[in-house]
Amino acid sequence: MRIKPGAKFVTEVSIMNKTINSELKTEAFNYELPDQLIAQEPLPRRDDSRLLVLQRCGGKIEHSTFRQIPLYLEAGDLLVLNDTRVFHARLLGRNTTGGGPVELLLLQRREKGQWEVLCKPGKRARKGALLSFGKGELEAEVLHIAESGERIVRFRGDKPLESYLPSVGQLPLPPYIKKVLHDEERYQTVYGSCSGSIAAPTAGLHFTEQLFEKLERRSIAWTFLTLHVGPGTFRPVKAEYVAQHRMHRERYCMTENTAAQINRTKEKGSRVVAVGTTCCRVLETLGGADGHVCSGEGETGLYITPGYRFNIVDGLVTNFHLPRSTLLMLVSAFAGLEETLRAYEEAVQKRYRFYSFGDAMLII
């Protein structure tokens, strides 16, 4: 599913669904997490991850393993997965104008071979600076500095930028992962097919081919959409109040076939289960109050916080997220803030593994 650069989806989400409680403080989404519970590497087998199951009705909590997730689903349920792949978006090089090392993180392709990037240290990427990567076979010129700090650069080389990335670029890992990842495929889902993310849709990392076979035997279906994960996924909310935060935007695509499959599932009264907050945001962006979705592609800046009314998503598979993050706010909107924090507290007590390479939750 290839997303066209600059595509825009014209239909707006209902204002009613985007109402945010102006009195809700960001601190309400804070919790204490011992550093040793932050998973630094994946388990040898993906579906060996633990699974905390939280019932939305009644708040019952069960503990299982991810390979048992089919037992908590029903025949006719539909899993919606994000088929994006992480690309070699991290470039380490030098400033050939003023000297010193420099690091770029590719965010989004612009017109005329230009890219929007994050750069550190910023003082080495002033307007007009020339940057060199690899053994000098790839160069970039800083054209513009945005108010938010991102740079617009133009790359120079004998080939398109994508041709250099496998050898010159690196797979970007979250800043809280300090251990070297020796097998890059472990930061990819087994079904990812559309390159474009700078971070993995981590809820999908637990799935295996054997698990899909088990789902099929139980008449549980699945389908795919694409959302390319951007840097905002790692940024904690710094505003005092939730409503003051400016939500990041991410590119998505949902085909007509996927939309039709979702609509058929809803019409027959079965459940649509989003695998990850990324899928949840796309489904709710394209969904209406009548419980149907339409196909489309573009960017979503949908900001889901407690009080949001879900139109499409009936269940959610998700990892354990950072405190004060928009991802935790989305989960709290779906399961309830008090219930979510109670589940997180129990996960900490039972020594679950947290964040990208950590364990999972099923909220149903």
Token digits of residue 48: 């060996």
Distance CA 122, CA 137 (A): 23
Q: Which two tokens stand for residue 117?
A: 């990037």
Instruction: Decide: 249 and 301 in contact? Cβ < 8 Å.
Output: yes
Query: Fold match between 16-86+183-363 and 90-170?
Result: no
Question: Taking the C-alpha atoms of 111, 92, 167 and 145 in order, what is their torsion angle to the nearest 10 degrees?
Answer: 0
Q: Residue 152's beta-bridge partner residues?
A: 116, 144
Tell me what pLDDT residue 8 has: 40
What is residue 357's predicted lDDT score, i.e. its pLDDT? Answer: 98
Provide the mean pLDDT of the chain: 93
User: Average pLDDT of 133-143?
Assistant: 94
User: For 48-65, how does the pLDDT look when each residue is reduced to its tens digit (9 = 90+)?
Assistant: 999 999 999 999 999 999
CATH class of the region 90-170: mainly beta
Supply the pLDDT for residue 99.
86
User: Which CATH superfamily groups domain 16-86+183-363?
Assistant: QueA-like (3.40.1780.10)
Predicted TM-score (pTM) of the model is: 0.92
Check pLDDT > 80 for residue 4.
no
Radius of gyration of the chain (CA): 21
% the chain with pLDDT above 70:
95
**Is the separation of the CB atoms in 313 and 281 below 8 Å?**
no
Query: Taking the domains of the chain in order of start, what are their residue ranges?
Result: 16-86+183-363, 90-170
pLDDT attached to residue 3: 60
What does the pLDDT average to over 181-192? Answer: 98
Task: Quick: pLDDT tens for 309-347.
Answer: 999 999 999 999 999 999 999 999 999 999 999 999 999
DSSP state at residue 199: S
pLDDT at 22: 84
What confidence tens digit (pLDDT) does each residue in 271-316 have? Answer: 999 999 999 999 999 999 999 999 999 999 999 999 999 999 999 9
Cite the DSSP H helix spans in 139-250: 161-168, 209-217
> pLDDT-based confidence at 18, cuts 50/70/90?
low
Q: What are phi and psi of 232, to 5 degrees?
A: -60, -20
Q: Is the pLDDT of residue 9 over 90?
A: no
